[in-house]
Copies of this chain bind each other. A is one copy, B any other.
Amino acid sequence: MLTHNQFDQQTIGMPASAGETLFLEGEPCDHVFEIRKGVARAVSMTHEGDRQILAFFFPGDSIGLPLAQYHRYSVEAATDLVHIRHSTRRWQESLARTCQDDTTILKSVWREEKAFIERGLILGRVGALARLSAFLIVLSRHLPPVHGLRALELPQTDIASYLAASPETICRGLKRLREMQIIAMPRRDRFAIEHPARLELLAEGIFE
């Protein structure tokens, strides 16, 4: 939400275009990446080459926290984005300086952790429509509306990978939600939640 914390140097945000890799699983954690604009995705590959999207990160989130020596997942730009790199050393100094009274840094740790928990919670739901609904609710909390519409810049293939569903299922699910008048999608990459209450119900697996 807020991008103003003690990391906030007058650094110019670095741009990255969709698909670009910010860092790779296994690389040393020498930078913390703070998202300023756009969406990033954490991905993990199994040995067999299967790709899974573990989490999405939004403006204000910090990724690649030096909790271990090496990054445990890769991060790529899911959309065009702007980010800032902080050196790990500075991050740890901040941590030492502030963690006694101020909990800002710990919050950024929490935000990262929450992103992963959130996926588990969503994947735990039964029914593809319930998962998709839950995802849209989470998305809407991260993406501020412009003119009542929210940007849905993520390709449906990414959503599918995140939700452990096939792209076809995502497409059909969105169609269904439109037909039910629960969401509106005037353009492919814009959506609005018309009926939040019913969306919540669907996310709980209740069709009425």
List A residues at the B interface (Cβ < 8 Å). 44, 46-48, 50, 52, 54-55, 66-69, 72-73, 92-93, 95-96, 99-100, 103, 106-107, 109-110, 112-114, 116-117, 119-121, 123-126, 164, 204-206
Contact = CB atoms under 8 A, between A and B. Distances in A.
Given A52-B121, A67-B109, A73-B117, A92 B99 contact: yes
A106 B67 contact: yes
Given A67-B109, A164-B123, A95 B103 contact: no
Contacts of A93: 100
A47 B113 CA distance: 22
Given A95-B95, A100-B92, A67 B121 contact: no
A206 B69 CA distance: 32
The 4 closest A-B pairs by CB, nearest first: A67-B110, A123-B123, A52-B124, A119-B120
A28 to B, nearest CB: 13
A124 B43 CA distance: 12
Given A68-B107, A99-B95, A113-B67, A204 B47 contact: yes
